């Protein structure tokens, strides 16, 4: 995946920069995608790499968008995070190295995982715009409730 990171970073809002580049966290419940119920995919706000799909999203009650699996597992990097006096698993995007959030083992079936992701790290591509935006290969995923 080719993108100009320097150019992409110039386009970020303050909260997007804080979250993706400085490992920040946005406020729970007061973010763009926690309540988003539209069909589509979520991509890295910096690189555009596909990360999550609406069919894998669920309401975890945490206040942040939650997914039980990534759309493209290869685009997710997991790292041990020992900040805040606890050990968690941080989730970053592979190509842009954006901080996305954390993954926990208290999610629903079929995976038992909860990818708790900051909206500010994501850009939502609605189903009807996916083909034009270059993400047509993922339209098939949206037809399946669990995959």
ω before 110 within 30° of 0 (cis)?
yes
- Which residue's entry shows tokens 């989730």? 91
Options 41, 45, 91, 116, the catalytic residue: 116
Angle 48-66-134 (CA atoms, 0-180°, nearest 5)?
Answer: 25
Q: How far apart are the first and last CA of the chain?
A: 24
Residue 118 known to be catalytic: no
Cβ(52)–Cβ(67) below 8 Å:
yes
Alpha helices, H only, 81-138: 127-130
- By annotation, the residues acting in catalysis are 116
């Amino acid at each position: 995946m080719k993108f100009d990171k320097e150019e992409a970073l110039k386009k970020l809002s303050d909260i997007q920069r804080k979250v993706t580049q400085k490992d920040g966290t946005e406020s729970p419940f007061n973010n763009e995608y926690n309540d988003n119920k539209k069909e589509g995919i979520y991509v890295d706000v910096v690189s555009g790499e596909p990360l999550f799909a609406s069919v894998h999203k669920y309401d975890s009650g945490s206040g942040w968008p939650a997914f039980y699996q990534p759309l493209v597992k290869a685009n997710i990097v997991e790292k041990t995070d020992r900040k805040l006096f606890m050990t968690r698993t941080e989730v970053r995007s592979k190509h842009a190295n954006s901080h996305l959030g954390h993954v926990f083992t208290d999610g629903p079936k079929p995976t038992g995982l909860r990818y708790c992701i900051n909206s500010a790290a994501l850009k939502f591509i609605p189903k009807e715009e996916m083909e034009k935006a270059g993400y047509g290969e993922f339209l098939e995923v949206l037809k399946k409730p669990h995959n």
